[in-house]
Chains A and B, each alone.
Chain A
Amino acid sequence: MTNDSRSVVEIRGGSLRYGDRTLWETLDLSVAPGEFLAVLGPNGVGKTSLLRVLLGLTKLSEGVVEVLGQPPRRGSSAVGYIPQQRAFDSGLPLRGRDLVALGLDGHRWGLRRASSVRRSLVGSMITTVRAESYADKPLGLLSGGERQRLRVAQALVSDPAILLCDEPLLSLDLGYQRAIVTLLDTRRADRRTGVIFVTHEINPILPVVDRVLYLAPDSWAVGTPDRVLTTETLSRLYGTPVDVLRVRGRIIVVGAPDEPDSALGSAGHAHEHDPFRTGS
């Protein structure tokens, strides 16, 4: 990479509003090649919307956004995307291999010429994510973890300079979480791909994260996990006392105000999983 110093994503004074509802304001963000940025925050603060802005699907209300030095362009091959997990219908006539291939040229109109280059590109990407054993099975019959590996392959097969991930670890067990994080970490180290990773949970990715963008309902902060995920910063962001504990290399946040419009609904508030929540 010759222009290693140039950022892959640049937002200056970015604001996003839907009607009279403001998601975030005057956001300044710059992501370097090979950087791993985690985007944290409660539901409804515009984490997914930020990804949509970078994909060129949503326009900023104010400010400037640049992806690789250009305004975001819909369908750019330089941007890979891993959408939120979704199960596929078990009768869907599609194999993992087909899903990956669609990431390469599924957006193109016109007839496709049978090409060995295409086939070997798809095949080597499947090997990279170690999905050979189930790449030819119907997609609807795969487990969540297997599906996510193929999603990673689909997002990377167009050789993007930026990878946008929307909660890719959701509902995966620990082993699969680790496998996916390792894949992404390897990729950004080998190819200097910038990774923007929207998540509810910092702990599975804590070892690989360079910086954190924390979006709170009324403000935001960006910096290393050590600087942003502190009692001080989060209390300031939420405008209410919040405690950040570090226990055995994990980060636990206690007392952040609940978001009533949680997308996960009541299932998202698994009190029994979190001893710190009881009595609050």
Chain B
Amino acid sequence: MSFSELLGQHFIHTALLAGVVIAVVSGAVGFFVVVRGMSFAVHAVSELGFTGAAAALVLGANPITGLLVGSLAVGAILGVLTVGGRERDAAIGSFLAFGLGVGVFLLSMYKGYATQATSLLFGSIVGVSDAQLELLVIVAIVVLVSLCLMYRPLLFASVDPEGAEARGVSLRLVSVLLLLLVALTTAEAIQVVGVLLVLTLVITPAAAATRLTARPALALLMSIGIALIATEGGILLSLLKPYPTSSFISGISFTIYVAARIGGRASGGRRWGKSVRASRSGVRPRCNEGFPSANA
């Protein structure tokens, strides 16, 4: 089939639509993930979602359901562990390694078609069915509505936890809610790019966007835009050339990220670098502890 013939196919329309839904959700949630420095937690949620999907395969259940249940459970646990946005690195790493071990074990028990497991790892957007698309849309609406409702406290707690807590924002509640949204988002993104490449939709676009603007709402919208360009561009390219869609998607989003790093605001801000370093050089004590005493 030629490119234009492919474009007329129903399954391609479904794939492009699913791509839009997933890109919007990933770009939006990814913004908060990047602001809070939680890339590793996202990685853990997606890999443990895989464990849930593997369990579902063994039990003969729908792997997407397993994926959702697995990542939600892990998201809730990590939400409690990562209150205040500061990752507990080692704890997440330990959970991740154990869960993945369980996933490998479950997969070895699975006697069915290995393609289902492979498509979880590497994604298969062109295999999205109409029923799947429906579920994608429902989950996306839940995530986006929740994000709109919690935008301000979530932003406050993410950028200024001390100030937010003093104003009555529950850091724990916000952290758990965000991780649940992250869980739903990765469960969506896995269906396009697979477990191993979730970060390319949830982290890279937002990381690029925060390089381009310091306005929080604008950065969030740009993150969505970049995720859209990468996803739709990747799907279209994979129609032209017979290589995996997820490779194209990660290639495009990484290219945008590199361009943003080179040309973005951070490089324009380099002339301010000195004062930043000076102010970061730590606390300059002026007196001894316990001394309401003289300045130097």
Contacts and interface: CB of A to CB of B under 8 A. Distances in A.
Contacts of B289: 42-43, 200, 258-259, 262, 264, 268-269
A185 B271 CA distance: 34
A171 B284 contact: yes
Contact of B292 (A99, A201, A270, A274): A201
Interface in B148-188: 148-153, 155-156, 159-160, 162-169
Contact of B295 (A74, A201, A253, A262): A201
A247 interface: yes
A41 B156 contact: no
B283 A57 contact: no
A87 B6 CA distance: 53
Contact of A253 (B159, B214, B219, B293): B293
A143 B168 contact: no
A81 B287 contact: no
Interface in B248-275: 265-266, 269, 272, 275
B90 interface: no
Interface residues of B, number: 52
B84 to A, nearest CB: 12
B163 A102 contact: yes
Nearest to A94: B159
B149 A201 contact: no
Interface stretch (A29-37, A63-71, A104-112): A104-112
Interface string B48-65: 000000000000000000
B200 interface: no
B266 A91 contact: yes
Contact of A247 (B153, B285, B292, B294): B294
A212 B254 CA distance: 57
Contacts of B292: 40, 199-203, 214, 229, 251, 253
Interface string A261-279: 0101001111101101100
A97 B278 CA distance: 23
Nearest to A257: B290
A75 B168 CA distance: 4
A108 B280 contact: no
| Most A CB within 10 A of own CB, among B155, B168, B286 | B286
A81 B284 contact: no
Given A93-B35, A105-B152, A274 B163 contact: no
A94 B290 contact: no
Contact of A174 (B165, B209, B275, B295): B295
B167 A75 contact: yes
B163 A81 contact: yes
B215 interface: yes
A92 B169 CA distance: 20
B216 interface: yes
A200 B152 contact: no
Contacts, number: 203
Contacts of A46: none
Contact of A107 (B153, B210, B291): B153
B210 A93 contact: yes
A109 B288 contact: no
Interface in A7-51: 40-43
A258 B219 CA distance: 48
A103 B167 contact: yes
B153 A108 contact: yes
B43 interface: no
B91 to A, nearest CB: 22
Contact of A203 (B152, B169, B294): B294
A259 B290 CA distance: 7
Nearest to A102: B156
B280 A269 contact: no
A142 B279 CA distance: 8
A41 B153 contact: no
A140 interface: yes
Contacts of B114: none
Contacts of A102: 152, 155-156, 159-160, 163-164, 167
- Interface pairs A-B: 6 shortest CB-CB: A75-B168, A42-B290, A106-B156, A83-B162, A138-B214, A81-B166
Given A106-B152, A107-B153, A200-B290, 14 more contacts: A43-B290, A56-B168, A73-B168, A90-B266, A92-B159, A95-B215, A98-B215, A102-B164, A106-B164, A107-B169, A111-B151, A141-B269, A199-B292, A200-B287
30 contacts: A42-B289, A57-B166, A75-B168, A76-B168, A83-B162, A83-B163, A92-B214, A94-B214, A102-B164, A102-B167, A106-B156, A107-B169, A109-B149, A109-B152, A138-B265, A139-B214, A140-B276, A142-B279, A174-B295, A199-B292, A200-B291, A201-B286, A247-B294, A251-B294, A256-B290, A259-B289, A264-B285, A269-B288, A273-B286, A273-B287
